A and B are shown apart, each in its own frame.
Chain A
Amino acid sequence: MERIPILKLGPFLLVTIQIDLYDRVALNLENDLITMVSKTGAKGVLIDISAVNIVDSFMGRILGNIASMSRIMDAETVVVGMQPAVAITLVELGLTLQGVHTALDVEKGMELLKTKIDIQYGSLDEDEEEGPDDRTD
């Protein structure tokens, strides 16, 4: 069974989808990612779909599911690198990927994730004081 590799990069998980997914592989990815989030305590998930030519309603739903599940597991999801033709098609299809953060490329996605995590926890560089007072300055 084909599987999509998931790389751990500091507090983030990075997934690069480089093949056209069929449903089973997409469902496996959903499962594997959530398991990895729980196992590693990752704070962010970055999904690079720049090599994906087709996102249909099923694949769109999987991306949405991953985002909602990660959020429940206290991690943010950013989908990066969507091809323009895919974006046009998704909107006409009626799928707007609500609740999924997006960025143009991996670099911008990383920045977005970092700011999101900063807002929640204060700067990661400081000792990880996760108190609610952290966010005042």
Chain B
Amino acid sequence: MIVLTKDTMQILREQDVVPFRNRVRELAVKIGMSLVNQTKLITAASELVRNMLRYANGGKVILEIISKSAQSGVRLTFVDEGPGIADVKQAMQDGFSTGRSLGLGLPGTKRLVNEFDIKSAPGQGTTVMIIHWKNGR
């Protein structure tokens, strides 16, 4: 896997979300992603960034364009230093939430993107990585 571009955005307030979503859209457009796939990626990113703000008071996102076997994609890595998730498996279930949300965030996000990886432990923050390929497969 080759990383073609890489930059980082700090997400500390709600107002940072819209510029962040626009930046994700720019990257998706740059590699020629279709509108449906763009929308899926941005929605997924929006869910994750909201989690980061709600549970960890913000964090940073690494935005990359990557290439693997002649296919390009967008990789987003959400890193926070919040309280972490005690039971990741449980958090990945539909309808589970410790906040007052619908509990669709993590499992829903996973359904929207091609690759999804989460690492978290209590007291050690949470890192979520998603990849969406240009053609959505």
Which A residues are closer than 8 A to B by beta carbons? 20, 22-24, 53-58, 60-61, 83-86, 88-89, 92-95
Contacts and interface: CB of A to CB of B under 8 A. Distances in A.
A56 B50 contact: yes
Contacts, number: 70
A60 B38 CA distance: 18
B46 interface: yes
Interface in B1-43: 14-15, 17-18, 21-22, 25, 35-36, 38-40, 42-43
A53 B38 CA distance: 10
Contacts of B21: 20, 54
B20 to A, nearest CB: 10
B34 to A, nearest CB: 9
B94 interface: yes
Which interface residue of A55, A56, A88, A95 has the most chain B CB atoms within 10 A?
A: A56
Contacts of A57: 47, 101-102, 104-105, 108
